[in-house]
Amino acid sequence: MKFTKSVKPSEVKRDWIVVDAKGKIFGRVLTEIATYLRGKHKPSFTPHVDCGDYVVVINAKEVEFSGTKLGTKQYHRHTGYLGGLKSEKMEELLEDNPQKLFMLGARGMLPKTKLGKSMLKKLKVYPGSEHPHTAQVKGN
């Protein structure tokens, strides 16, 4: 009988993947990023182990959106105090802090546990084409 091999955390090999978001649709880029962060692109994928890779997103400010999401979609958060509901439009968030926009989108596609939080820490987002991870990325 053959059994499926479960990868241990010490056996995981992590790579650095660069994703260029320039001219791509936001949701499509996020699904690609979430797949890499989770490790589902590897044949040794194990659901209960963080076996994903590091992902570096460049040109985050130049990502495209379909429909009228950019002008109408809002992100809400609450401070915990009475009347403490804060809202930000997607357009303002993309202009001011594209890293937060990508983090919020990727967080929704990852597990809602400690495992998901550790996967999200491997996402690095930069608004331009420059990033400090050139030494880790292969092919640069």
CATH code for the structural domain at 13-65+97-125:
3.90.1180.10
- Torsion angles phi and psi, residue 68, rounded to 5: -105, 20
Q: In the chain, what are the domain boundaries?
A: 13-65+97-125
Q: What percent of the chain has pLDDT over 90?
A: 88
Give the pair of three-digit tokens for residue 60: 């985050």
Question: What phi-psi label fits residue 67: left (phi over 0), alpha (psi between -120 and 50 degrees) or beta?
Answer: left
Q: What percent of the chain has pLDDT over 70?
A: 99
Integer Cα distance of 53 and 23 in angstroms: 23
Integer Cα distance of 138 and 77 in angstroms: 38
For the entire predicted model, the pTM comes to: 0.89
pLDDT, tens digit, 9 for 90 and up, residues 85-126: 999 999 999 999 999 999 999 999 999 999 999 999 999 999
Q: Is residue 140 pLDDT above 70, yes or no?
A: no
